[in-house]
């Protein structure tokens, strides 16, 4: 699959975004998500707080960054809104993992980024930690190679605030990686009012020629 083919795939996925979403709960039932030459599989939710995995929709995602580099991966969407002034959870968290396999031998996984769209106003916090690890590894030790991405929002005013981390080079060029991700939202109680809304968070990979 050469670069023009990947660019065509990006255009197709962008046009059809949202058309084939399934829930995170469905994906944990041994289902896979195919994004062109990428296969995302073995989804698992180690812990969820406030809402279950059925509250998260999952779909293929692809776009070009500012440098014109195709990024392929997955989008997790939600309509989760937290507020100090209404009944409901004040703390929501997802601790999830999945495997990424590149099936085209002409390319390797060379970089990763994560992106999040949401807002956190007054006494509110949103955080996102994404870590790429070698295949079949889910815990970090002193000798484990890994690539992290971290982002946080707190006390911002605005209807929608996106943030996107820069693309980080992976710990090694690879055809397979394991991803661990923790996303959390918190708001204060009625004496410390705040609100937070999570629209979506993405995990995206940069493909490079293998030679």
Cross-strand partners of 162 = 117
pLDDT exceeds cutoff 50 at 14? no
Q: What pLDDT is stored for residue 16 in this prediction?
A: 39
Question: What is the average pLDDT across 145-164?
Answer: 71
Residue 180, CA distances (Å) to 31, 55, 128, 149, 156 in order? 18, 19, 11, 11, 27
pLDDT of residue 159: 47
Q: In this model, does residue 207 exceed pLDDT 60?
A: yes
Indicate if the alpha-carbon torsion angle 132, 136, 140, 142 is positive or negative.
negative
Contact 203, 73 (CB under 8 A): yes
Higher pLDDT, 111 or 138: 111
CA 207, 68, 109: angle at the middle one, nearest 5? 10
- Distance, in Å, from the CA atom of 118 to the CA atom of 59, rounded to the nearest integer, reads 18
- Which stretch of 49-53, 69-73, 124-128, 189-193 has the lowest confidence by average pLDDT? 189-193
How many whole angstroms separate alpha carbon 57 and alpha carbon 6?
Answer: 24
Average pLDDT of the chain, as a whole number = 82
Residues 188-210 have a mean pLDDT of 83
Q: pLDDT tier at 162 (50, 70, 90 boundaries)?
A: low
CA 116 to each of CA 103, 129, 138, 168: distance values in angstroms, whole numbers, following the listed order = 27, 11, 23, 16
The predicted pLDDT at position 160 comes to 54
Written as six digits, the tokens of 177 are 């990686």
């Amino acid at each position: 699959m050469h670069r023009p083919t990947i660019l065509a795939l990006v255009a197709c996925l962008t046009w059809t975004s949202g058309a084939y979403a399934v829930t995170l709960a469905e994906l944990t039932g041994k289902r896979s998500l195919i994004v062109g030459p990428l296969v995302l599989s073995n989804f698992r939710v180690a812990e969820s707080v406030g809402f279950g995995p059925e509250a998260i929709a999952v779909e293929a995602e692809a776009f070009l960054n500012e440098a014109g580099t195709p990024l392929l991966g997955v989008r997790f969407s939600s309509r989760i809104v937290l507020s100090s002034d209404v009944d409901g959870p004040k703390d929501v968290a997802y601790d999830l993992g999945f495997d990424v396999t590149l099936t085209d031998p002409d390319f390797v996984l060379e970089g990763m980024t994560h992106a999040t769209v949401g807002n956190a106003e007054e006494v509110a916090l949103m955080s996102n930690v994404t870590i790429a690890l070698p295949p079949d590894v889910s815990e970090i030790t002193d000798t484990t190679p890994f690539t992290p991405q971290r982002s946080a929002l707190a006390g911002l005013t605005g209807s929608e605030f996106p943030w996107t981390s820069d693309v980080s080079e992976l710990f090694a060029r690879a055809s397979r990686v394991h991803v661990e991700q923790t996303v959390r939202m918190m708001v204060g109680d009625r004496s410390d009012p705040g609100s937070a809304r999570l629209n979506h968070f993405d995990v995206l990979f940069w493909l490079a020629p293998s030679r």
